[in-house]
A and B are shown apart, each in its own frame.
Chain A
Amino acid sequence: MAALRWGRGAAGLSRALRSPGRPCTTTKEGILDGLWGPRLNSSASPCEQERRKDWGHVELLEVLEARVRQLQAESVSEVTVKRVEVARVPADGGKAGGTAPPAKARVQPSGAWARKLERDRQLLQRQQALLKEEARGRSPLPAPRPKPSVKAEAKAKGRPKPEAMGKAVARSAAALEGKAKHSAGCVLPPTEPQPESQQYGWMGLEPQQGTWEHREWERLQPWETSLLPCLPPAASPPPGSGSSAQASSELRAKEKAQQNRLQTFLEGCLATGQVGLAHHMLVCYFTRPRRQRLLVPAMFNTVMRGWAQEGSYKELVSVLIMMRHLGFAPDLLSYTSILQCMGRVDQDVTTIRRCLQQMARDGLQLEQLFSEESLSPEERAALLRAVLKAKPNFRLPQPCPQVSPVELLQEVYAKDGPVSYPRLHLPLAELQALFRQQLHVELAGSMPVESVEKVSPTQEILQARKNLAALRKTWEAELHSQLRATKANLAQRSRRGTVTLYPFLCVLPEEELVQILLQVLFSLPAQGEPFVHTAHRVALQTFQRHILRQRSCRGHLQALEQRYAKYLRLLASDTQVAEPCLPRQHWEALGPPEPPPPQPWPLLELLLLGKLLLETLVQVTRLPASLASQPTAGHSVPVLFHVYTFRGVRQIGLLRPHPAFVRLVEDSKASTLTFEATDMPMLCPPLPWSSSQAGGFLLSPTKLMRSIGGSQQHQQRLESCPPAQLHGALDALTQLGNCAWRVNGRLLDLVLEVFLDKGCARLGVPPPVSEAPRPPLDQLAPDTQPHLKAQLRQEVARCLKVAREMHGLRQEALYRLSLAQHLRDRVFWLPHNMDFRGRTYPCPPHFNHLGSDLARALLEFAQGRPLGPRGLDWLKIHLVNLTGLKKREPLHARLAFADAMMDDILDSAERPMTGRKWWMEADDPWQTLACCMEVARAVQSPDPAAYVSHLPVHQDGSCNGLQHYAALGRDSVGAASVNLASSDVPQDVYSGVAAQVEVFRAQDAQKGVKVAQVLEGFIGRKVVKQTVMTVVYGVTLYGGRLQIEKRLRELPTFPQVFVWEASRYLVHLVFKSLREMFSGTRTIQHWLTQSARLISQAGSAVEWVTPLGIPIIQPYHRESKLVIRGGLQSVTWNSSVDSSQQPNTLKQKNGFPPNFIHSLDSCHMMLTALHCYRKGLTFVSVHDCFWTHACDVSIMNEVCREQFVRLHSQPILEDLAAFLERRFCREDEDGAQAQGDTGHSAKLLEMLRAVPQKGDFDLQQVKGSTYFFS
């Protein structure tokens, strides 16, 4: 019962009652020392609660023992009082018996919570009594059996008597012993009674207790008996327990969900500092046998950790006792918490020592404690304090700098050789100032940015703004009070022992929740947004803000600033570091790794929270009838409507704002746009990536690998692989993020000019919606024929759709340009991360170098470099490349073309909008224009070689996917056609394929195939290009046919009746030609596909490790459904990434080849990046398009080719096969697999061992190929 009382104390109620003037002194403790029963009993009184710290003086051992005795005494005495004979009670000498609670004395006047606790307690007692009774009925032992031991204990005054215990065990429960120990999770064999009783003694659980428990378990179903004690801490599925388990599998799924919810609840409580509530909830579960089954060690660990953080030793012990009571052995996390708490309360040496001994007996190493990553530095310090007290000689295990085990990276991390890592062009002081700016932005969470679309406020606009502001204020107040009411309601329900959303609502103050909700309201599109997605978004945003709040505590910010300042010394232009190293290495040397951010809340919790918040929003926000232009409609109308759209048998619920509200927002013409801090580029160099969760933004959590739809599997893979293995990816991403950017101001001015003046679709500047076509509804005659009206309807829908698209594009451009305008004259950085295949992306979504021609043209390197001897030539070649005019000419011809066109180039640069507008005809007009300007400035400068250029020059891989395939299969013909072999002129694979197709067609035409004859003269590069390009990315015959059909329809002279037949015929020819030219490619693709099919059919998702060591797993699974009923609508969340589902074979097999190739091209990019970095180059990439300064293009080209050769010199396919074999074919060892399964495995093994043969292409030729990347 003490657990309960402590729980109540923990709940903070008694603490409120505590009077500071009455400390319970140690002397009092000493006096009470001999009187265990009464003292414990009195622990319920407010007086006893006063000095919790004093409990620290009591030895752990004694506490535990006393607790056990009390437990037994209470239960027994209860039994005896009610059942056996009243006379027994005094026999306990007022010690244990005294604990039998007169209800009157127990009830504390401390509110509903206490009363509730009291009820629980009584319930427990009743249940225990019942249990005893049953036990008596069944067991040969007499009911009052525990009594003698209680007496003995009482005499022993807290000292265990091992021998006696041992004998007692041997005598009374020898038969049950083995099982009991099994159920209690004990590891010691029964033949050693002494250590065993010691173990129990230390934990305060005697063997009798164990057997008693065992009986309790016996009462339960057999499967439960085996299930519960065996549940491992990580809540992984319990070992199979036969048919009974199968029968109740549904129940278990339900229970599992309940367990997860409870665990999340407890963690949520911890995160919001409500350990008391967590404890209370735990006790609520603990005291009800039906719920008790759901408890797992992880829950106890969670609560214990909470108490440890608060330094509440007594409460922690009570949790430990509960845990022991259920037969769970403390694990590493438990010990971490115990010791941490001991460190905080300054526990005496002997107790700590005993704890350490017990830990050693449990087979846990001291060093392991410190390897726990989730500990904060502060917790670590407390832990260390405790350990040092017991073992003054203990030294923290020093992490030795690890070297990447990946062979390809040896050179990158080699200590010798010339290294000249690039530095930024900014001095330290400026960078530090930038850091503070960025910190400010991130602390604010969101950032208002002035819109480039300016309007002069008219009377109407001002009125609308005023109305909106007034409404907003009303809603804020109402939302605030509504949220508060909801919170109070939930808190009450939580106190009654129901798992609710209460802790999640508590993570943010109401004001912030209100702001998030209102932002959602104002950003809802006029046509509505699916409810599920909005709910998910709101909840995710809440979580993000929550982490941000946690991180923005003072200590953390200070530590971060100090460490960052030291880190900047590596990058700044005016500082020195001892030896050159990579940013990550430098960062790691500056301190211990930071604890990873907490796991995101489970989907169920997220959706529930989002739903709750949105429902509050829908309920609260109302529009006055005067604004809604509905005089008939009473006082007010709702702002948000819940509507449905129908798609097949599915209904999709949408939230849609009231048209009047949309109009009001439009009328107010907001002059600022609000961006989340994570949607903006950073104002200082990003944090270097040091682990899979640390890096990028300063405070906002950023993941190394993006997850699709909330999949966790990638994160798990990354975390479980040795840290050094990820170094390549971490360093490459850090470097990509460290590139400083600035806005090309002149170009921005020009773009803005076009943008504000009706846009221009040709140049990629979207026109405003006012330019959209209007539906011809006005000229509708009253007697129009119905079928004409139907046509009109289609026209209306089309116009609407076009307008909507235009609106979307316009908004996107508006965001981009506003951000560009905001960042003009500043230096900024784009932190990078990667997708699940290793391809890299900048994190800020709206303004980055990955976008369209317009987006790319707006950006240039902040750091300039003199052009040098060849830089100008490269600029010119780049210019010609951008125009797309001379794709198939050699470099010198392109250069000559540029020189010939110099007049036009200069004209474009000087009079872009008024001159001859040569640049507008280019493939990428804006980039061309930017390049024209750069060329013009360089040419006009006195010494072009000294001209400092900021413009990135691109080098593009020609059909990069095929390049990798060709290299993998060493296809001579294919390699030559994708420029792997050196050649004087660039080869064009599309023309090559077209020519091959033409050959086949001619043959067929001669044979008299009609389609082939019809197609004469129509087969060109353009027809086949898209199909060839996408074939590496897994386009099928079906998709290919559609592509070709589209091209054929574009040909004006082609007889359209043949389109279907011709496209079907052509796609076969294209595939046939590709097979012919890239014989290796098709074989490899086939091999990959078939392997993936077999793996997937065996029930696993395909996994592999890239040559750079990045673990990859394909997140394609059968759909799983999460349904939450009730409320505004039932929410159904379909997810195809749930790894507990069977894999989706079709997607797994079709996805494997392209994903594998993507993982290879990302490896190539990263290798190139790392080597370029070593040579001091600025390097960024857009997948297979590499950017650097004009002066460095030659070096980059060299590195790029070298690394391609090195990458493909590895036995990539062999390694892959070996990995897959290790991972998926293990039936030889088990030998116990089903018959059919073994056959399947054998097939897979056979497939994996048949690695495709290679051709005879000499890879070294790549080094001499000019047009490999050009």
Chain B
Amino acid sequence: MWGPATVLPSRLTLSVLPGAGRFCFWRFGAAMRKDLAVPRRGLSSSCPQPLRHRELKQLSHQRYNRLYVGKSISSPKLAATVAEILQLEEKARHEVIMECSPGRGILTKALLETGASVIALESQKNFIPHLKSLDEKRNGKLKVVHCDFFKMDPSNCNTVKPPIMLSQELFPTLGIKANSWLEDTPFKIVGMFPINNEIKALWKLLHDLYTCSSIFSYGRVEVYMFISENQFEKLIAGPTKPELYHVLSVLWQLSCEMKLLLQKVPLSLFEMYTRDGLLVQKTPVKPQNQCFIQMIPRKDLFTEYLTPINYDIFFHMMKQCFGRRSALLIQHLHSLTPCDPLTIMNKAKIKASVKPSDIYPQDFKRLFKAIECSSDDDSKWLYDRVTEEVRC
């Protein structure tokens, strides 16, 4: 008897039992157990970022960075510019703008001055009284909610308490009505990606987008965000810049029209505050210029083949393809589908000798379609939904 002394933790027993008595699924994977034991909020953690040099450096600063949870615009000039950009179209004056983490409300003020209605989602309690005071003369154009935008609609619903909220409970109270996907954009969201985990936030938004859940269940919400320059370069990278091209680039480019609105905004125009809502005097360790970008979900994102039902397979396919960049696409296909890869690639009109970083996002979509069409039953993918979703 060399077997383990204890069997699985009870919560895993059922979901991962592949066959009776085969208790070995997670048996030795101490690391996996650890991985599973951490309750995960949001879906963002499923990012298979190959750790590059630059990111490694960031990781080493992570503990320090954790102090800075929020940032907001501190320069009234910048705020005015942003407000101007947001109100590009005069007809949209009646539109609702949702602002995440307004902080001291510099941008909020600017937005209100252009006449828009603003919903401020602030995660820090101590900013709220001040924000509410901004509304005094505006007769209800500003609504302030204690809510963390990037933690809205967590995947496990047991820890819902402010500032973590559910959109389906919050939005009706704010009087927002859902538009269908093909209709116009219902409202705009403006904010800044959290400085220390942009990637996490980007993944969470992606999952929401591809499933039309959370804010995107209200239609194709326009997202305006400040994002670090590096990250933005990665997002818009293509085969021409293979070293920056990665999973997020493909998924974002496919799902949204992205536009750069402001470039090289120095970080000094923002103010950081800590978890307790205290302003941070010193700039973070690695000041990076910010970009202000617009992301509008595409109407034609969903097709007959790529739907919210199977988007996770598409995500998986992308992760697989960018997992080992040196390998040819055809080799990755061997791990994705039992179908003959060459046939598939011919059908998708992709040359057999390309690497994943050599083809455009649209090609990936075509490839996905080719596999989806290859047969009727569910044996066209080697992907397993349940194994993928084993979580705490």
- Chain A interface (Cβ < 8 Å from any Cβ of B): 523, 525-530, 532-533, 536-537, 540, 544, 600, 628, 630, 632-634, 637, 641-652, 654, 656, 658-660, 678-679, 696, 702-703, 706-710, 785-787, 789-790, 792-793, 796-797, 800-801, 804-805, 807-815, 833, 835-836, 841, 843, 845-846, 1042, 1045, 1060, 1119, 1133-1137
Tell me how far the C-beta of A422 lies from the nearest C-beta in chain B, rounded to whole angstroms: 25
CB-CB nearest in chain B for A785: B180
- Nearest chain A CB to B238 CB, angstrom units: 23
Is there a chain A Cβ closer than 8 Å to B386's Cβ? yes
**A residues near B211, Cβ cutoff 8 Å:** 787, 790, 793
Q: List chain A residues, Cβ under 8 A from B336.
A: 643
Assess the B335–A812 pair: CB atoms within 8 A: no
Question: Which residues does chain A contribute within 8 Å of B31, judged by CB atoms?
Answer: 650, 1119, 1134
Contact of B35 among A526, A628, A641, A647 (CB under 8 A): A647
Residues of A within 8 A of B4 (CB): 706, 708-709
Bound Cα distance A789, B46 (Å):
22
CB distance from A1153 to the nearest CB of B (A): 17
Q: Does B231 contact A (CB under 8 A)?
A: no
Residue of A nearest to B207 (CB): A790
Contact indicator A642/B335 (Cβ below 8 Å): yes
Q: Which A residue sits closest to B334, measured CB to CB?
A: A641
What are 23 A-B pairs with beta-carbon distances under 8 A?
A: A533-B28, A641-B334, A641-B338, A641-B382, A642-B335, A643-B335, A644-B320, A652-B32, A660-B379, A678-B1, A696-B1, A785-B180, A786-B308, A787-B211, A792-B309, A793-B312, A796-B385, A797-B385, A797-B389, A811-B17, A845-B3, A1134-B31, A1136-B30
Chain A contacts for B29, CB-based, 8 A: 530, 532-533, 1134
Residue B340, interface by CB 8 Å: yes
Q: Which residues from chain A contact B18 at a C-beta distance below 8 Å?
A: 525-527, 529, 804, 808
Nearest to A656 among chain B residues (CB) is B382
- The residue on B at minimum CB distance from A780 is B309
Q: How far is the CA of A517 from the CA of B308 in the complex (A)?
A: 40
Further 12 A-B residue pairs, CB within 8 A, beyond A793-B311, A797-B386, A814-B20: A523-B22, A526-B18, A532-B28, A600-B2, A645-B387, A647-B32, A649-B47, A651-B323, A659-B378, A807-B19, A1133-B28, A1137-B30
Most-contacted residue by chain A among B20, B48, B316 (CB, 10 A): B20
Query: What CA separation (Å) do A544 and B3 show in the bound complex?
Result: 12
Given known A637-B340, A643-B382, contact A707–B2 (CB-CB < 8 A):
yes
B15 close to A801 (CB less than 8 A): yes
In the complex, whether B240 has a CB less than 8 A from a CB of chain A is no
A530 contact set on B, CB distance < 8 A: 25, 29
Alpha-carbon separation in the docked complex, A630 to B343 (Å): 11
Q: Which among A630, A645, A710 is the interface contact of B388 at CB below 8 angstroms?
A: A645
A1135 with B28: CB separation less than 8 A: yes
Give chain A residues whose Cβ lies under 8 Å from the Cβ of B158. Answer: 1042, 1045
Minimum-distance CB pairs A-B, first 7: A811-B20, A808-B17, A525-B18, A659-B379, A812-B20, A835-B5, A1134-B31
Bound: A810/B158 CA distance, A: 30
B274 at the interface (CB under 8 A from A): no
Q: Contacts A659-B338, A789-B309; is A654 near B387 (CB within 8 Å)?
A: yes
Q: Shortest beta-carbon distance, A705 to chain B, in Å?
A: 8
Q: How far is the CA of A845 from the CA of B24 in the complex (A)?
A: 12
Q: Across the interface, do B30 and A805 meet the contact criterion of CB distance under 8 Å?
A: no
How far is B378's CA from A841's CA once the two chains are assembled, in angstroms? 42
Q: Which residue of A lies closest to B310 (CB)?
A: A793
Contact B14 A637 (CB under 8 A): no
Nearest Cβ on chain B to A659's Cβ, whole angstroms: 3
Q: CA A792 – CA B161 in complex, angstroms?
A: 27
Residues of B within 8 A of A1136 (CB): 30
Question: What is the distance, in angstroms, from B274's C-beta to the closest C-beta of chain A?
Answer: 24
Task: Give the chain A neighbours of B335 by CB distance below 8 A.
Answer: 641-644
Query: How far apart sit A613 and B302, CA to CA, in the bound complex (Å)?
Result: 44
> How near does chain B come to A1066, taking the closest CB pair, in angstroms?
15
Main secondary structure of the interface of A (DSSP, over half): mixed
Check: B362 CB closer than 8 A to any chain A CB.
no
Q: Mark B42-63, 1 if CB is under 8 A from A, else 0.
A: 0001111101000000000000
Shortest B327–chain A CB gap in Å is: 12
B319 to chain A, nearest CB (A): 5
C-alpha spacing A809/B23, complex, angstroms: 12
Asked whether A809 and B20 contact (CB < 8 A) given A641-B335, A643-B383, the answer is yes
Inter-chain CB contacts under 8 Å: number: 218
Known: A525-B22, A708-B4, A785-B181. A645 touches B384 (CB 8 A): yes
Per the bound structure, the CA–CA distance linking A536 and B24 in Å amounts to 10
Task: Check A793/B308 contact, CB under 8 A, given A523-B22, A637-B338.
Answer: yes
Write the chain A residue with the least CB distance to B341: A633
How far, in whole Å, are A810 and B45 apart by their CA atoms in the complex?
33
Q: How far is the CB of B145 from chain A (nearest CB, A)?
A: 17
Taking the nearest CB of chain A, how far is it from the CB of B155, in angstroms? 11
Tell me which residues across on chain B come within 8 A of A843, comparing CB atoms.
1
Pairwise interchain contact A846-B21, C-beta atoms closer than 8 A = yes
Which of A656, A658, A809 interacts with B17 by CB under 8 Å?
A809
Instruction: Say yes or no for B78: interface residue by CB 8 A criterion.
Output: no
A641-B335, A787-B213 in contact; A815/B180 too (CB < 8 A)?
no
* Bound form: Cα–Cα A188–B83 in Å: 92
- Chain A residues with CB under 8 Å of B310's CB are 793
B288 interface residue per 8 A CB criterion: no
Contacts of B15 in A (CB 8 A): 801, 804-805
- Closest Cβ of chain B: how far from A658's Cβ, in Å? 5
Cβ of B338 and Cβ of A628 under 8 Å apart?
A: yes
Contacts of B311 in A (CB 8 A): 793
Does B359 make an interface contact (CB < 8 A)?
no
Is the Cβ of B51 less than 8 Å from the Cβ of A815? Answer: no
User: Is B307 an interface residue when CB atoms closer than 8 A count as contact?
Assistant: yes
A812–B334 touching, CB < 8 Å:
no
Give Cα A809 to B212, complex, Å: 35
Tell me the bound Cα distance from A1133 to B43 in angstroms: 26
Q: Which of B3, B307, B386 contacts A786 (CB 8 A)?
A: B307
CA distance A533 to B309 in the complex (A): 31
Tell which of B161, B319, B385 touches A646, judged by Cβ atoms closer than 8 Å: B319
Using Cβ atoms and an 8 Å threshold, which residues of chain B touch A532? 28-29
Decide: A790 and B20 in contact? CB cutoff 8 A: no
Option from A526, A647, A787, A845 in Cβ contact (under 8 Å) with B308: A787
List chain B residues, Cβ under 8 A from A526. Answer: 18
Interface status of B353 (Cβ within 8 A of chain A) = no
In the complex, which of the residues B30, B31, B48 has the most CB atoms of chain A within 10 Å of its own CB atom? B30
Q: B170 CB to closest chain A CB, in angstroms?
A: 15
Query: Which residues from 178 to 222 on chain B have a C-beta closer than 8 Å to any C-beta of chain A?
Result: 180-181, 211-213, 216-217
B173 close to chain A: CB less than 8 A: no
Tell me the smallest distance from the CB of B3 to a CB of chain A, in Å.
7
- B20's partner among A801, A808, A1042 (CB-CB below 8 A) is A808
Whether A1135 and B212, one on each chain, are in contact in the complex, defined by CB atoms closer than 8 angstroms, is: no
- List chain A residues, Cβ under 8 A from B319: 644, 646
Q: Of B1, B20, B161, B323, which is within 8 A of A813 by CB?
A: B20
A-contact bits for B351-392, CB 8 A (1 contact / 0 none): 000000000000000000000000001110011111111000
Chain B residue nearest to A1136 (CB atoms) is B30
Known: A645-B384, A678-B1, A1134-B30. A810 touches B323 (CB 8 A): no
A544 and B27 CA atoms in complex are apart in Å by 19
In Å, the complex CA distance between A800 and B385 comes to 8
Determine if B269 is an interface residue (Cβ-Cβ < 8 Å): no
CB <8 Å contact, A833 and B386: no
Q: Give residues of chain B (280-324) contacting chain A, Cβ–Cβ below 8 Å.
A: 302, 307-312, 316, 319-320, 323
Q: How far is the CB of B1 from chain A (nearest CB, A)?
A: 5
Q: In the bound complex, how far is the Cα of B180 from the Cα of A544, in angstroms?
A: 62
The residue from B2, B27, B28, B48 contacting A649, defined by CB atoms under 8 A apart: B48
Which residues of B lie under 8 Å from residue A815 when comparing CB positions? 20-21
List residues of chain B with CB within 8 A of the CB of A644.
319-320, 323, 335
A786 touching B302, Cβ below 8 Å: yes
> Could you tell me the distance between the alpha carbons of A843 and B5 in the complex, rounded to whole angstroms?
10
